[in-house]
Amino acid sequence: MIALLLAAQIAATPAPTFIIVRDGQTTTQVPVTIYDGEPCVRADLLMRAMKGMLITGTNLHFTLALPRARLDLIDGIPFAKFDTLTVPLTRAPQARGGQLYLPFQFVSEVIPRYGGGYSYDVAQGELRTSALTAVGRAPPPRVTATPPPTVAAAPPVRTRAASRSAPKVVVIDAGHGGPDRGMIGPIGTPQWFTEKDVTLSVAKKLETVLRARGYDVLMTRTTDTLIALSDRGRIANSNHGDVFISIHCNAPGSNTAAGARERGFETYFLAEAKTEDERRVQDMENESVKFETGANAPKGDPLNFIITDMAQNEHLRESSDLAQTIQQGLIDVHPGPNRGVQQANFAVLRGSYMPAVLVEIGFGSNQSEATYLSDQANQRALARNIAESVIAYLQHYDSRIGGAR
């Protein structure tokens, strides 16, 4: 309860124009900058004031190396990583003008909790070491003002080791299979729609289009067979895939009349689910693990939804871009509503070390959408559209790499 009251107090208190970092007898002011109406703090200035270091890694990765803790970040991804714990942020850190800017929440909540001995005084706008909070405030020392931000060189642009001239490998994953039928529908009628059959049919049509356009394609399954969720990513990795596309059909959380009316398409990338609907879809798709027994069952808890390797996963930002490209393209061909780009911790995406998305091509639980998805011509249209979006993404990615070389 105390933690909730403190969080509410912090959220309700306007951010100061600068933060006072008090460490021993040293006090430093760090400016608070407003970007897009939200308060931010420049990471390098904050680390300097805290006697830490900002480490700029490859692929837009950053590490805040504090005296007693390390926090890992990715530009544009609203999560931080502390040890094996993924910490949600109210806003993604942003690299602008060669500098990394942190949301104000990072100072007021994240560092006090995970920074290794700091507390934040809301009333004073002070970030203090635990030694000071234990013995009381020290006499006011001389304040050293940190110079205002300056524009530096642009941040490093991610590159790829593989040759741009090599054929791209698109990994297509038809959801479910074998004893795992996926969702069945429609709701309110005799059930004739089976997800595993439709996803395989669309995946094969997607393969045909991409091969015709000169791309190499790897299918995780080409028949009605069960492939473990964890094995799908391994298949993609071992064959050096460039992108991973998992095809699925959606269903609502209940078999009610309201659920039967749910329609539309959405595309997911790997991140912690933020909304109830994202968690519902995440749980529904991850439930496939119950069909995995014996040698193909993953070790440990198969429904452990913590992202344990975010700092090593270079592809979250690219996956988000790929998801946006596919979702935007589907608007042109899909009759259902655009449900947008979503995020969830799908087991099938978790082990794919490449840009990876899961496309929910529609609700098989809805009578009209199930009819649409079962039609061969409509499946070909969906496949062509997804293929064009994947190609556009890969070409755009190559153009960005080329500009960096």
3-state secondary structure of 18: strand
Confidence of residue 344 (pLDDT cuts 50, 70, 90): confident
d(CA 122, CA 108): 8
Residue pair 345/305 in contact by the 8 Å Cβ criterion:
yes
- The tokens describing 135, both together, are 């013995």
- What local confidence, expressed as pLDDT, does residue 46 receive? 92
Sign of CA dihedral 395, 401, 403, 405: negative
Question: Among 318, 398, 401, 400, which residue's Cα sits nearest to residue 353?
Answer: 318
- The tokens describing 273, both together, are 């689910």
- What local confidence, expressed as pLDDT, does residue 249 receive? 97
Total residues belonging to the chain: 405
The more confidently predicted of residues 329 and 231 is 329
Structural domains of the chain, with CATH: 12-145 (3.30.457.10), 169-404 (3.40.630.40)
Q: Would you list the DSSP string of 209-254?
A: HHHHTT-EEEES-SSS----HHHHHHHHHHTT-SEEEEEEEE--SS
Mean pLDDT, rounded, of the chain:
80
- The tokens describing 332, both together, are 């042109």
For 36-87, the pLDDT digits (tens) are: 788 999 999 999 988 889 988 766 788 898 888 888 888 888 888 877 677 7
- What local confidence, expressed as pLDDT, does residue 289 receive? 65
Taking the model in full, what pTM does it have? 0.59
CA 40 to chain centre: 21
How many other β-carbons are positioned within 10 Å of the β-carbon of residue 319? 26
Mean pLDDT score, 384-399: 92
How big is the CA angle at 392 (ends 387 and 397), to the nearest 5 degrees? Answer: 125
Among 192-196, 294-298, 305-309, the least confident range: 305-309
Mean pLDDT score, 197-224: 97
d(CA 141, CA 149): 24
186: exposed, middle or buried (Cβ count in 10 Å: 0-12, 13-18, 19+): buried
For 130-158, the pLDDT digits (tens) are: 654 433 343 444 444 444 443 333 333 33
